[in-house]
Amino acid sequence: MSHFTQPLEYVGRPAQRVDALDKVMGRAKYIADYRVPGMLHARCLRSTLPHARIARLDTTPALRVPGVRAVITSDDFVDHGLYGFPVKDKYMLAYQKVRYVGEAIATVAADTPQAALAGAQAILCELEPLPALFDATRALDPDAPQVGPDRKNGNREHPNLKSDHMLVCKGNAEAELADCPIVLDRRYFTDWQEHAYIEPEGVLAIPTPEGGVVVYAPNQSPFINQNNLAMVLGLPINLVRVIQPTVGGSFGGKDDIIYESSAQAAKLALVTGRPVRMVFSREESLVASYKRDAMHMHIRLGADRDGTLRACWFRGILDSGAYASETPFTAWRASIHAMGAYRYNACDVDVYCVYTNNGYAGAFRGFGNPEVCFAVEQTVDELADMLGMDPIDLRLKNCLRLGDETAHGQKLDESMGLVECINTVRRLSDWDRKRAEYSRQTSTEKRRGIGVAIMYHGMSLGAEGADYAGATISVLPDYSVDLTSGLTDYGTGSRTVFTLIAAEELGVRPDRIRIQRPDTNTAIESGPTVASRTTVLGGNAMRAAARNLRQTLDLAAADLLRCDPQQLIRVGESYVGPDEEAVAWEKIVDHAREMGLILSAHGKWEAPKIVWDHHHGRGTPYMAYVYGAQVAEVEVDLRTGNTQVLHLWAVHDIGKVIFPQGAYGQLYGGITQGLGYALTEQITYRDGYIQETNFESYLIPTSVDVPEITAQFVESSYSYGPYGAKNIAEPSLVPTAPAIANAIAHATGRRVRELPMNLERVLLGHDLQPPASRDAAIRGVWMETRSMPQTPAPAAPRIYA
Amino acid sequence: MWIEMTLNGKPVAVEAPPDISLLDLLRDYLNLTGTKEGCAVGECGACAVIMDGRLVNSCMVLAPQAHGSEVITIEGVHGPDGGPNDLQQNFIEYGAVQCGICIPGMIMAGEALLMHNPNPSRQEIRMGLAGNLCRCTGYQQIVDAIEATAKGRQKG
Ligand code: FES
Ligand code: FES
């Protein structure tokens, strides 16, 4: 019987989140809600210096504090707890040196949180300051202090160089630029961004009678955590079990920091023989956790006078702080997307990351693409301004289309909906009328502007690593269907996506299906839950598992109904054979059991192989891409620099939409994070000390900052995606900040080339209070430039005759 | 000290130190963990409860201040059968829930808003939620859910 031609019954239809009921009733349990008998509370001692040698560390005074049960340091782990991927450069607790303010040095377990804090404060820790580095652009200077780790491989490179140079090379970009009549040469900067999940970090570790440990950890990738734990605790992997409880948001943020907390709590649980829970305060979360990298970018775009793009030259340096975490991968993804979704004759991209003592950076939704999109999409807009072209027309003239080859050399031969995204967002936003109308404003108080940005985003890991996932499915005695996936749901809705896919393939109602919590004991290892890969990788695996089970049930049905499986049809859940009598699904299950058939199955799916030549910057970096276009309409108060976003339109090509309500939710939420990234979210490391330590200074968008959002999907089917699906989680926020920046430029005539575009940057074009390291000469500028020019002259581009 | 209050319609008395917050009293002394802590400084609204008819951030209320008051937490919000009420059902139906950590506070803010303004505009709903941070949803589907609930309650 063919499953392909039938209309889809559950996939793409209205559905509700499988975990919504528990959440609206207040019943869902997050780590801070877990209480188990005998549970101890853990607390870290953290570094107060950005770079220092640990001269003395004496934990015995802490043990004398009433209520304190144990204290651990890096000495308590195998190899001092060294871990990290792709670079092994971080310790579960600092060893010999600290490299950022907030780095964990020792962890105390005590009867109460208060005793744990008192214990941490009692630890004798002497830190001997070392020269520190805060300016990423100076990190590779010969006289820069070494803040990166010693290299064992003969030190070919500067020790502060964290990653390889990530290259994309097509033709000779220098020569092409020299030949272009118009060249724009621009520098952009994007700042650190905090994930700001509303649930701060936490873990609970419970020792087992066999000498192992069960860790409840709101991490994204439990199997990586399990591997790390086995390694640093010196335990066989089967004695380490990681379970993911309900996660209160992550956005890329709950990996390394949770692995560390897991290792600390697990070690303390093993030492004390008691459960240990550690929950961060918001302040601790902001100080200790990793963030989105800050990125210094230099872009040169070459074009003909008719607006045809010809060359892109791009240099990017990621300030990714004291440890690597996943930032070498971030740099790679940034390099692949640095030139934007356009055609070029020549392209030359080089992106790398460096060590500094500004906190540390890791994965964050978008993973390098929001940074580079901010630069390239504004530069393209400036080109349109210069040429007097409509920004959307210029983009349509140059953007990638079906059949094109990307700058990397990848042929785009299917699932390419970018032009449709652009045309749709143009129509929905009433672009042409507003663009014309707002160009004629004369008000000196408030002006409106409308701006656009487009994007593409490579699906899943691409050349970052092996790309596979597994899933299991089984029928339980009560005829419910039980699912597991090795990929996790930290608020994204993937549990619902998997449920709908299993329902579709099995032909049973979704309310019969239950999906287990991710648990390393029951699920199949599936690589990390990152890179918006869950729907495609996990979805395909679940589809395969459900099909395997379906085949078994079809056999049983054919046996019971005395026909070939091909003759069966389904009416609702029931099976109908040639005699046209409907037989309940439960009966088929019973019969399968009587036949001795096993009603459980697993499925595995591997992404198509991709090829990337790191040395020459050529190849097929991703299996396929998602596309999108967003338009922002803003009103800027010319007297204060305040920007209000009035409306946002977003049209994204994500392939077949499996769970519409969830997909829209991802889009709205991502756009909102992009809006915060654009306007208000600022992390300031002043000499390594973070200045924003709670939500009164780290400003994420509230319900009144976010306008109504009009969203639509273009569903250009992808042949390898489940039912043609692609993905949405990350791409949603990528074009938001540049769309807003372009709208601000339209309103004010002023380009803001730094994020966030706060009041003073919009009003003055620079910071009101420059960081101490900057030239003091610009300090007096507030008085001089108070009144904004009516029609600021655009910065002079470099024009070759 | 002993703190007495009416909690979700029932009288309770609990002994607790005088210097803790209502949030800690609820979570640690009364084991009502539906009320969440997101910041502990009054900025996020994850800890919102209704106290004497007003929406308050329970992390900013000292436990003794709740003495003699009437407090409603998320555990006290439900339909007649103990299942979701209309607002909670609409949160489910309109996709207003993602990670869920802000949702108890959002439900409390929604109930408080509808108590004082049974027929709010979308902008008024946004104003009513301005003290509740959500990092996942972008608020749009939360506004949808509250708007639908207001309309439903108007019809009776
Ligand atoms: S925890 Fe009370 S407002 Fe954030
Ligand atoms: S649903 Fe995650 S913070 Fe609101």
pLDDT single digits (tens) A615-658: 999 999 999 999 999 999 999 999 999 999 999 999 999 999 99
Closest chain A residue by Cα to residue B91: A24
Same domain for A475 and A623?
no
Crossing angle (nearest 10°) for helices A539-560 and A494-506? 30
Q: Are A639 and A622 in contact (CB under 8 A)?
A: no
CA B145 to chain centre: 15
Gap between the Cα atoms of A36 and A206, Å rounded: 9
Q: Which ranges of A25-122 would DSSP assign to H, the alpha helix?
A: 60-63, 113-122
Q: How many domains does chain B have?
A: 2
* pLDDT tier for residue A800 given thresholds of 50, 70 and 90: very low
| Phi-psi region at A14: left, alpha or beta (left = phi > 0; alpha = psi -120 to 50) | beta
Same domain membership, residue A259 and residue A113: yes
Query: Which stretches within A731-796 are classed as H helix?
Result: 736-748, 759-764, 781-784
Cβ neighbours of A25 in B, within 8 Å: 34, 74, 78, 84, 88
Q: Is B68 left (phi over 0), alpha (psi -120 to 50) or beta?
A: left
Per-residue model confidence (pLDDT) at position A155: 55
Ligand 2 centroid – CA A139 distance (Å): 38
Q: Are residues B116 and B95 in the same domain?
A: yes
Say yes or no to pLDDT of A21 above 80.
yes
Question: B127 lies in a domain?
Answer: yes
Residues above pLDDT 70, as percent of chain A: 94
Q: Ligand 1: does its nearest atom lie under 6 Å from the Cβ of B63?
A: no
Question: In the listed set A572, A606, A640, which residue is the last one of a domain according to the structure?
Answer: A606
Q: Which phi and psi angles does B29 have, rounded to 5°? A: -105, -25
Residue A440 lies in a domain: yes
Amino acid at position A774, single letter: R
From A586, A606, A626, the end of a domain falls on A606
CA angle A71, A107, A75 (to 5 degrees): 65
Q: How many domains, chain A?
A: 3
- Check residue A156 and give its pLDDT: 65
The answer on B69 and B97 residing in a single domain is: no
**CB contact (8 A) between residue B141 and residue A668:** yes
Helices H / strands E in chain B, number of each = 5, 5
Whether residue B132 is contained in a domain is answered as yes
With CB atoms and an 8 Å threshold, state whether B40 touches A490: no
What confidence tier does A780 reach under pLDDT thresholds 50, 70, 90?
A: very low
Contact assessment for residue B102 and residue B132, using Cβ atoms and an 8 Å cutoff:
yes
Q: What is the dihedral of CA A258, A259, A265, A268, to 10 degrees?
A: -160
User: Roughly how many angstroms between the first and final C-alpha of chain A, as a whole number?
Assistant: 68
Calculate how close chain B gets to A309, using CA atoms only, in Å.
35
In this complex, do A703 and B46 lie within 8 Å of one another by their Cβ atoms?
no
In the block, which residue shows the tokens 């087992």? A208
pLDDT of A796 higher than 60: no
A643 and A740 both lie in a single domain: yes
A230 and A111 inside one domain? yes
Buried b (16+ CB within 10 A) or exposed e, A563-586: beeeebebeebbbbbeeeeebebe
Query: Which pLDDT band holds residue A801 (cuts at 50, 70, 90)?
Result: very low
Round to whole Å and give the CA distance between A176 and A345.
8
| B70 within a domain of the structure (yes/no) | yes
pLDDT, residue A782, reads 26
Distance from the Cα of residue A434 to its chain's centroid: 33
- Would B151 be classed as within a structural domain? yes
What local confidence, expressed as pLDDT, does residue A463 receive?
Answer: 81
Residue A106 and residue A205 share a domain: yes
Across residues A733-737, what is the average pLDDT?
98
* pLDDT at A78 (0 to 100): 98
H or E element, residue A319:
strand A309-319
End position of a domain, from candidates B76, B99, B134: B76
B93 close contact with A: CB closer than 8 A: yes
For residues B125 and B101, membership in a common domain is answered with yes
In a domain, A170, yes or no: no
Q: Which of A198, A497, A671 to mutate to test the interface with B (most CBs of B within 10 A)?
A: A198
- Amino acid identity of residue A475, one-letter, is V
Token pair belonging to A553: 């049930």
Flag whether A186 is in a domain: no
Residues A634 and A564 in one domain: no
Nearest-angstrom CA–CA distance, A674 and A78: 41
Domain boundary among B76, B101, B133: B76
DSSP E strands in A345-494: the ranges are: 346-354, 446-458, 468-475, 481-485
Q: What is the pLDDT of residue A287?
A: 97
Under DSSP, is residue A542 helix (H, G, I), strand (E, B) or coil?
helix
d(CA A640, CA A643): 9
User: A415 and A347, same structural domain?
Assistant: yes
Tell me the residue ranges of DSSP E strands in A59-123: 68-72, 82-83, 90-91, 97-98, 104-110
Predicted model pTM: 0.95
Return the CATH number at A353.
3.30.365.10
Measured from the CB, is residue B104 less than 6 Å from ligand 1? no
The answer to ipTM > 0.85 is: yes
In the prediction, which pLDDT does A592 show?
Answer: 98
Tell me which residue has tokens 């199949």. Answer: A524
Secondary structure class of A725 (helix, strand, coil) = strand
The rounded Å distance from CA A701 to ligand 1 centre is: 16
A453 and A475 both lie in a single domain: no
**Which residue would you say has higher pLDDT here, A491 or A453?**
A453
A113 within ligand 2 shell (Cβ under 6 A): no
In a domain, residue B112? The reply is yes
Query: Domain check: are A729 and A661 in the same one?
Result: yes
Please report whether residue A733 resides in a domain: yes
Domain that holds residue A597: 20-27+468-606
Closest CA to A277 of A349, A206, A342: A206
Domain of B132 in residue numbering reads as: 86-155
Domain assignment present for residue A560? The answer is yes
State which of A17, A194, A195, A198 you would mutate to test the pocket of ligand 2, scoring each by most atoms of that ligand within 8 A of its C-beta. A198
**Is A153 within the bounds of a domain?**
no
Clarify whether residues A329 and A476 are in a common domain: no
Which of these, A205, A358, A229, lies nearest to A292 by C-alpha position? A358
Of the pLDDT bands very low, low, confident and very high (cuts 50, 70, 90), residue A532 is: confident
Among A606, A641, A664, the domain boundary falls at A606
Q: Do B118 and B140 belong together in one domain?
A: yes
Is pLDDT at A769 greater than 50 in this prediction? yes
**Domain check: are A456 and A475 in the same one?**
no
Q: Are residues B100 and B138 in the same domain?
A: yes
Q: How confident is the model at residue A530 (pLDDT cuts 50, 70, 90)?
A: confident
Q: Which of A198, A251, A696 sits opposite B38 (nearest CB)?
A: A198
Token reading at A252: 């890329």
Based on the fold, state whether residues B61 and B100 are members of the same structural domain.
Answer: no
Q: Please, are residues B94 and B146 in contact by the beta-carbon 8 Å criterion?
A: no
Q: Are strands A708-714 and A643-653 parallel, antiparallel or unpaired?
A: parallel
Residue B119: CATH number of its domain = 1.10.150.120
Residue at A370 is within a domain: yes
Distances (CA, A) of A576 to A10, A218, A322, A505, A541: 20, 44, 64, 17, 28
Same domain for B63 and B112? Answer: no
The pLDDT assigned to A766 comes to 77
In chain B, what residues touch A16 (CB-CB under 8 Å)?
92-93, 95
Q: Whose CA is nearest to atom 4 of ligand 2?
A: B134
Q: Look at residue A157 in the predicted model and tell me its pLDDT.
A: 80
B36 and B99 together in one domain: no
B90-133, pLDDT tens digit by residue? Answer: 999 999 999 999 999 999 999 999 999 999 999 999 999 999 99
Disruptive mutation site among A17, A24, A668, A700 for chain B (greatest number of B CBs within 10 Å): A24
Cβ–Cβ under 8 Å, residues A482 and B127: no
* CATH code, domain with A218: 3.90.1170.50
Query: CB count, 10 Å around CB of A796?
Result: 7
Q: Is residue A172 part of a domain?
A: no
Verify that B102 and B138 share a domain, yes or no.
Answer: yes
User: B85 CB near a chain A CB, below 8 Å?
Assistant: no
Q: Are B12 and B64 found together in one domain?
A: yes
Distances (CA, A) of A509 to A398, A512, A574, A587, A723: 46, 6, 11, 16, 18
Q: DSSP secondary-structure letter at A697?
A: T
Flag whether pLDDT at A777 surpasses 50. no
Q: What is the pLDDT of residues A317-371, one digit of tens each?
A: 999 999 999 999 999 999 999 999 999 999 999 999 999 999 999 999 999 999 9
| Strand partners for A126 | A56
Q: What percent of chain A shows pLDDT beyond 90?
A: 90
* Angle between helix A585-594 and A539-560 (nearest 10): 80
CATH of the domain at B64: 3.10.20.30
Are residues A636 and A739 part of one domain?
A: yes
Q: What is the pLDDT of residue A99?
A: 97
Which positions in chain A touch B21 (Cβ < 8 Å)?
A: none
Read off the pLDDT of each residue in A679-695 and give the average, rounded to a whole number: 96
d(CA A109, CA A426): 58
Q: How far is CA B11 from CA A275, B5, B51, B59, B67, in A?
A: 33, 6, 14, 21, 11
Tell me, in angstroms, the distance from the centre of ligand 1 to residue B51's CA: 15
Query: How far apart are the C-alpha atoms of A389 and A385, rounded to whole Å?
Result: 6
Running DSSP on this structure, what letter comes out for residue B95? T
Residues B55-98: pLDDT tens digits?
Answer: 999 999 999 999 999 999 999 999 999 999 999 999 999 999 99
Does residue B81 lie in a domain region? no
